């Protein structure tokens, strides 16, 4: 039972850390521009496949391994732009900053909740050891 609490907290922190990283990267690259759709920044998202992994497997994954890249690109006609292609288009990632800020805030709160649960588990374990003395 106690090991489950530890595993659940660590797993939750790993997933929320990946969500934080994805949202941060998306926000940082929201205004990036490319002359090709293929060269545009790829929006990062936490893979849905992560949910099917065991707690130990989630914890063992790095944030980068949990992320997938989605090609969500929008073309804008700006022939005056230095990176415009022959047709006058530039390509930017299709990122909604409000959504990404909400994701960032939500992941931060969930990470903090997992840290509190883990600290409560540590405290209760410590108190249980003191009782046995």
Domain range annotation of the chain: 2-119
Q: How confident is the model at residue 3 (pLDDT cuts 50, 70, 90)?
A: low
- Residue 110's nearest CA partner among 41, 3, 14 is 14
33-66 pLDDT, tens per residue? Answer: 999 999 999 999 988 777 777 767 777 777 778 8
63-78 pLDDT, tens per residue? Answer: 778 888 888 899 999 9
């Amino acid at each position: 039972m106690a090991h489950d609490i530890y595993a659940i907290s660590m797993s939750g922190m790993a997933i929320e850390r990946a969500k934080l990283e994805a949202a941060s990267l998306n926000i940082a690259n929201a205004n990036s521009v490319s002359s090709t759709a293929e060269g545009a920044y790829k929006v990062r998202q936490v893979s849905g496949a992560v949910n099917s992994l065991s707690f130990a497997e989630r914890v063992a994954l790095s944030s980068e391994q949990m992320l997938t890249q989605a090609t969500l690109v929008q073309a804008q006609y700006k022939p005056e732009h230095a990176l415009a292609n022959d047709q006058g288009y530039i390509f930017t990632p299709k990122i909604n900053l409000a959504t990404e800020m909400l994701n960032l805030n939500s992941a931060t709160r969930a990470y903090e909740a997992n840290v509190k649960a883990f600290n409560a588990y540590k405290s209760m374990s410590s108190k249980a050891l003191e009782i046995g003395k």
